[in-house]
Amino acid sequence: MENDDLILVVDDTPANLEVISEALSDAGLEVAIATDGERAIKQAERSSPGLILLDIMMPGIDGFETCRRLKASSITKEIPVIFMTALSDSTDKINGFNLGAVDYITKPFQEAEVIARVKTHLKLRQLNKNLETQVCLRTAELMTALKRMEDSQIQLIQSEKMATLGQLVAGVAHEINNPINFIHGNLTHIEEYTQTLLEFLHLYQIYYPQPVGEIQAKAKEMDLNFLQEDMPKIISSLRIGTDRIRQIVLSLRNFSRLDEATCKEINIHDGIDSTLVILQHRLKAKSDTHSIELICEYGDLPLVECYPGLLNQVFMNILANAIEALEEIQVKRKSEHLNQEPCRITISTSVIPGDQVEIIISDNGIGIPENIKQNIFEPFFTTKPVGKGTGLGLSISYQIIKEQHRGILKCVSTQGVGTQFIIQIPIFQKIKPPDRVSMISDHIIR
């Protein structure tokens, strides 16, 4: 522990020690003494004085060597050293300054000069320590500000592109919605009109079972009996198709949620399902990959207070990463002529203690290597080739869960087994709306 008021006086002459010690004590300073360089070094390391008065001409190691060893030690290198000497050669003074001394006191001593120089250097040391403290505090403040700025830039870098994507999704959904509603609405009339015509045709066949030859030939050519049976089936298929398109449009609108920048109660499962609709095509088999099995194990969840658009981005980022990981492992196994094990993604939800909900998204891929697992939530960290990923998806997801939802996002991964992303958020947020910078991440996806 440092003792800034302690002065260590090093001199092999008892008379000099007595004079200096008395003068410093009268000035209200605490004094310790040493009679050679070795003792001085040990005492300086033990008591950490505020300043050392060091004689040059001493038996054993001289003052210069003592100073050199003091400055070489991490414990004593910051302690100011003032040489005491009867030498007047400028070469000796230059040598002392080169070794790290801050001043010289010439023998015989002038008491007032000694006190003035000692107090000046004690004050300078204290000012220097205060300055270092202020620099450290300011540096910490600047690092915090830099971190905030980097976090903002991470969101701003992607905001234009992703906001445009969100608007595009909502725009496409709107454009599709109008004509499909028109088609879906008119299907009811077409079904009624078709049924009327079929009933009329059936009635005609009852009362005119033997029409003229030309009508019989045309009925045979058209396979009239088949048309009568198949027409209702076609209309039913059309209705199923339009229902499916309307559901996709609804999922697109739920996913983009351009008009929802406030915290509101939602069904978490609706957000997951709408995200899965967007990613459905990527789960299907392709020329070089098999289909990915999807297992949803939904618990009985209450409505959860959250920012729906932001939460959907988290689901999108994690699910897209899981799909990419499973696609990569399938391509690798195929190139190495290995057995293609079934790939699957499991999504489970539940209520956990503390009025929280937990969403676990798991895959049975190859897992994440231990040496990079700790870096996956860092901005711009990615293992993908250049142009294949920004390294922002998981970083932004972490911010959304931690900052916007006061929750936890963690990764559990075992190589050769798979990866789990665990999301835990409170059921009730009770927080202010996100600020402008936070809101722009509303449409950020990987």
Six-digit token string for 437: 């910078």
Task: Let me know: does 40 contact 52? Beta carbons within 8 Å.
Answer: yes
**Tens of pLDDT along 12-26?**
888 888 888 888 888
pLDDT at position 300, please? 95
Q: Determine the pLDDT at residue 104.
A: 85
Residue 391: pLDDT band by 50, 70, 90 thresholds?
A: low
Asked whether 434 and 404 are in contact (CB, 8 A), the reply is yes
Q: How far, in Å, CA of 191 to CA of 197, rounded?
A: 10
Choose the most confident range, by mean pLDDT, from 89-103, 197-211, 382-396.
197-211
pLDDT over 80 at 258, yes or no? no
* Ramachandran area for residue 300 (φ above 0: left; ψ -120 to 50: alpha; else beta): beta
User: Which domains, and CATH codes, for the chain?
Assistant: 3-109 (3.40.50.2300), 263-446 (3.30.565.10)
The residue count for the chain: 446
* Rounded-to-integer distance, Cα 99 and Cα 93, Å: 10
β 304-306/264-266 pair status: antiparallel
The SS3 assignment for 154 reads helix
Say how many C-beta atoms besides its own lie within 10 A of residue 293's C-beta: 13
Crossing angle of the two packed helices 308-335 and 224-256, in degrees rounded to 10: 110
Residue 385 pLDDT class (50, 70, 90 cuts): low
Residues 6+ apart with CB under 8 A from 55: 10, 11, 12, 13, 16, 63, 83, 84, 85
Q: What is the pLDDT of residues 268-321, one digit of tens each?
A: 999 899 888 888 888 887 777 788 999 999 999 999 999 888 888 899 889 988
**pLDDT digits 0-9 by tens, 196-217:** 999 999 899 898 888 898 998 9
- Band (259; pLDDT cuts 50, 70, 90): very low
Among residues 78, 90, 34, which one has the least CA distance to residue 58?
34
How much is the pLDDT for 164?
62
CA distance 207 to 305: 67
Segment 432-439 shows an average pLDDT of: 42
Average pLDDT over all residues of the chain? 82
Query: In which region does residue 406 sit, left (phi positive, over 0), alpha (psi from -120 to 50) or beta (all else)?
Result: left
Q: Mean pLDDT across the stretch 243-262? A: 67
Residues 146-194: pLDDT tens digits?
A: 877 776 666 565 555 555 656 676 777 778 888 888 888 899 899 999 9
Say how many C-beta atoms besides its own lie within 10 A of residue 52's C-beta: 27
CB atoms near residue 167 (< 10 Å): 13
What are the b/e assignments for 251-282, b being 16+ CB within 10 Å?
bbbbbbbeebbebeebebeebbbbbbbbbeee
Q: Are 21 and 49 in contact (CB under 8 A)?
A: no
Residue keyed to tokens 């990419």: 324
pLDDT number for residue 256: 60
Among residues 64, 32, 35, which one has the least CA distance to residue 47?
Answer: 32
CA distances (Å), 388 to each of 12, 162, 180, 321, 354, in order? 74, 16, 35, 12, 39
φ/ψ of residue 78, rounded to 5: -90, -5
Binned at pLDDT 50, 70 and 90, residue 437 comes out as very low
Structure tokens at 243: 């229902």
Confidence category of residue 357, pLDDT binned at 50, 70, 90 = very high
User: Structure tokens of 335?
Assistant: 């190139």
